[in-house]
Amino acid sequence: MSDGNTEARKDAADAAPEQASNEAIGAATQGVPHELATPITLGKQEISNLHVRRPKPGDLRGLQLGALVNGDTDAMLKLIPRLTTPSLPEEIICEQMNALDLTGLTDKVVQYLTVK
């Protein structure tokens, strides 16, 4: 014999994996936040936060996977604009981005490529 509390706990436990899965899908499509150590100016807008999403196969076109996994700067400078919101042109990244921010973004991208 089960009581209402047991059934409610079971329903909540059954929903937890689905909720976690939906959150993971949201993070993959919308991206995870990344606060910049040094804001970047894009036009008249100052950007201090970016969202970085998981790359799709099309985002990787023309890039060597080995170079990306190894954190190759040239490869990352081509890929990061494809994955960030707002999208930052490669020239802006090269001219304005703090090296610490580039390293942090590179780490997130490498994790996306290597961690399930």
52-81 pLDDT tens trace: 999 999 999 999 999 999 999 999 999 999
pTM for the complete prediction?
0.72
Verify that 23 and 42 share a domain, yes or no.
no
What residue numbers bound the domain in which 21 lies? 1-30
Over the Cα atoms of the chain, what is R_g?
A: 19
- Report the alpha-carbon distance of residue 31 to residue 71 in Å, rounded: 19
Verify that 48 and 69 share a domain, yes or no.
yes
- Report the alpha-carbon distance of residue 5 to residue 89 in Å, rounded: 54
Number of domains within the chain: 2
